[in-house]
Amino acid sequence: MSNKNLGFSEFKEISTLRIQNNLEDVFNSYGSNSCDLLKPMKYTSLSGSKFIRSLLVYSSGSAFKIPFKLLDQISIAIELIHTYTLIHDDLPCMDNDDVRRGSPSCHIAFSESSAILAGDALQSLAFEILSRPKHNEIPAETYLKWVNYLASSIGLTGVAGGQYLDLLINGQDVKTDELEEIYNLKTAHLIKPCIMLPLMLSNHSKNDKIYKDLYKFGTLLGVSFQIKDDLLGCTSSSKTLGKTKNNDEIRNQPNFANILGIKETKKILEKNKKDMSEILSSNGFAETFLSDVSNYIFDRKF
């Protein structure tokens, strides 16, 4: 699919419906004999998600000319990992947020212990799905690379480490470069796999320049995603956000908006957007859904 025969809005609708159906199928495959832990897993995975990460997976795959069917395992796994991180982030010992995507957080709708176990089970399920040899077109070596890449992205030197550092700076005075590195770990490290795992299916993965440039693109997009969240947390309502407005301020948590102010934060986002556009243009991806989805992430209102 390309922009020449399908608009981004339609592409987004198709991609969103696809991941919703795929997630439903995953949960329904357990049948009625599964334990009730499935309920909080399904509740948070399907409750009001924008499915931005899976949209990014399909947009990346489209830019690399990869069929949707070969991208489904990636998109499902990353959405399940993302949901697990949200469940744990909302816990009283973490960000302590009672609302997620406009609904009660998992630990509020069920219980704290159920939320912890649901997150654990979602992470395990993600790797079960990602590692399953399903398509003859995908070499066993690629499945192994996928698992290795995603595992390294969410652990000590990725999302978990970033969340740990994020908790440490609560109530502290920090510089924006320190904050940017935390955002790279806790947010960009789950955005980059949405680009790099599809890339592993294409001939572009053998091109060092494209590989390095798209990795940088993913880093900028992930960091900007979190900075945009900082901005929206100050400028949007709780109803629009689907979570508590100004929660960082309430928790005395440093972010770009409360350190630099709204005007300077917007300048950083504009610079990042320009740099990302140049990366795509220099590698022949300017007129692809990868460009469209990055603009969508920058322009979103929630």
Q: Between the CA of residue 94 and those of 115, 158, 204, 253, what are the distances in Å? A: 13, 17, 39, 12
80 close to 96: Cβ distance less than 8 angstroms: no
- Beta bridge partner(s), residue 99: 104
> Residue 2 domain-assigned?
no
Which residues, in sequence order, are bridge partners of residue 104?
99
Question: What is the predicted pLDDT for the residue at 239?
Answer: 61
Task: Single out the residue of 222, 140, 223, 134 nearest to residue 176, CA to CA.
Answer: 223
Distance of alpha carbon 301 from the chain centroid: 16
Q: Report the relative pairing of strands 103-104 and 99-100 from DSSP bridges.
A: antiparallel
Q: How many domains does the chain have?
A: 1
Residue 136 lies in a domain: yes
Note the pLDDT tens digit of each residue in 260-271: 999 999 999 999
- Quick count: other Cβ atoms within 10 Å of Cβ 209? 10
Res. 205 pLDDT band, cuts 50 70 90: confident
In this predicted structure, the answer to whether residue 3 has a pLDDT above a threshold of 60 is no
Q: What is the pLDDT of residues 68-117, one digit of tens each?
A: 999 999 999 999 999 999 999 999 999 899 999 889 999 999 999 999 99
pTM of the model: 0.92
User: Which region holds residue 292: left if phi is over 0, alpha if psi is between -120 and 50, else beta?
Assistant: alpha
Identify the CA nearest to 265 among candidates 254, 250, 279, 280: 254
Instruction: Give all strands (DSSP E) within the chain, no chain letters.
Output: 99-100, 103-104
pLDDT at residue 162, rounded to an integer: 96
In a domain, 29, yes or no: yes
Could you tell me if residue 3 is inside a domain? Answer: no
**218 neighbors 57 (Cβ within 8 angstroms):** no
Question: Contact, 262 vs 230, CB < 8 A?
Answer: no
**Cα–Cα distance for residue pair 262/44, rounded to 1 Å:** 31
CB 123 within 8 A of CB 84: yes
Q: What is the pLDDT of residue 147?
A: 98
Q: If you average pLDDT over residues 165-172, what whole number do you get?
A: 90
**Number of C-alpha atoms within 13 angstroms, CB side, residue 215?**
11
Rounded Cα gap, residues 68 and 65, in angstroms: 9
The Cα angle at residue 103 between residues 30 and 84, in degrees rounded to 5: 50
Asked whether the predicted pLDDT for residue 240 surpasses 60, the reply is no
Residue 276 located in a structural domain: yes
Residue 238, domain member (yes or no): yes
Place 2 in a pLDDT band, splitting at 50, 70 and 90. Answer: very low
The answer to whether the beta carbons of residues 143 and 131 sit under 8 Å apart is yes
Residue with tokens 């973490």: 94
Which residue is it, tokens 């610079």? 271
- CA dist 210 and 199 (Å) reads 10
CATH classification of the domain holding 100: 1.10.600.10
Tell me, yes or no, whether 1 lies in a domain: no
Residue 281, domain extent: 8-299
The answer to whether residue 115 is domain-embedded is: yes
Mean pLDDT (the chain, rounded) = 92
Tell whether the model's pLDDT for residue 238 goes beyond 60. no
Bridge partner residues of 100 (DSSP)? 103
Residues above pLDDT 70, as percent of the chain? 93
Given a cut of 80, whether residue 134 has pLDDT beyond it is yes
The Cα 150–Cα 1 span in angstroms is 26
pLDDT confidence of residue 32? 78
pLDDT at position 273 = 95
